[in-house]
Amino acid sequence: MADIERALNAVFFRTDRGNEPVREWLQSLSKAERKAIGADVLKVQYCWPIGRPLVGSLGGGLWEVRSRLGERIARVIFCVHGCKMVLLHGFIKKTQKIPRYEIEIAARRRDQLV
């Protein structure tokens, strides 16, 4: 993939205080889980636009990267801002449907982008 140009460059959303919530969440996971999520994000970077099963639209300019972590499922919600894939929110999915509050967190962060 080194010779292929990335369609998007992934960046972490940064709060006014300089925190990067998705990076912090990733660091709380095991190395194998971080590697799996990173591989999925990288695939989106190179193959954008890409659809199911890896990426799904949540509406309002929000998208989710779906990563399988053995028995668990991780989601990274992102938006596309120019040529950037802004990683807004990450969580381990525990229910069939994504809880509304998880989407609201990502939407608030998306709205803070300049």
Q: Which residues contact 16 (CB under 8 A, 6 or more apart)?
A: 112
Q: What is the pLDDT of residues 98-109, one digit of tens each?
A: 999 999 999 999
pLDDT tier, 2 (very low <50, low <70, confident <90, very high otherwise)? low
Q: What is the mean pLDDT of residues 37-44?
A: 98
Q: Which CATH superfamily is domain 9-111 in?
A: RelE-like (3.30.2310.20)
Q: What is the pLDDT of residues 52-61, one digit of tens each?
A: 999 999 999 9
CB 11 within 8 A of CB 80: no
Residue 4 confidence (pLDDT) above 80 = no
Q: What is the sign of the dihedral through the CA atoms of 74, 57, 55 and 79?
A: negative
Residue 1 confidence (pLDDT) above 70 = no
* Domains of the chain, residue spans: 9-111
Q: What is the mean pLDDT of residues 79-92?
A: 97
Q: What is the pLDDT of residue 37?
A: 98
Residue whose entry in the numeric block shows the structure tokens 């190179």: 46
**β-strands 84-93, 72-81 pairing:** antiparallel
**Coil vs helix vs strand at 7:** coil
pTM score: 0.94
DSSP type of residue 54? T
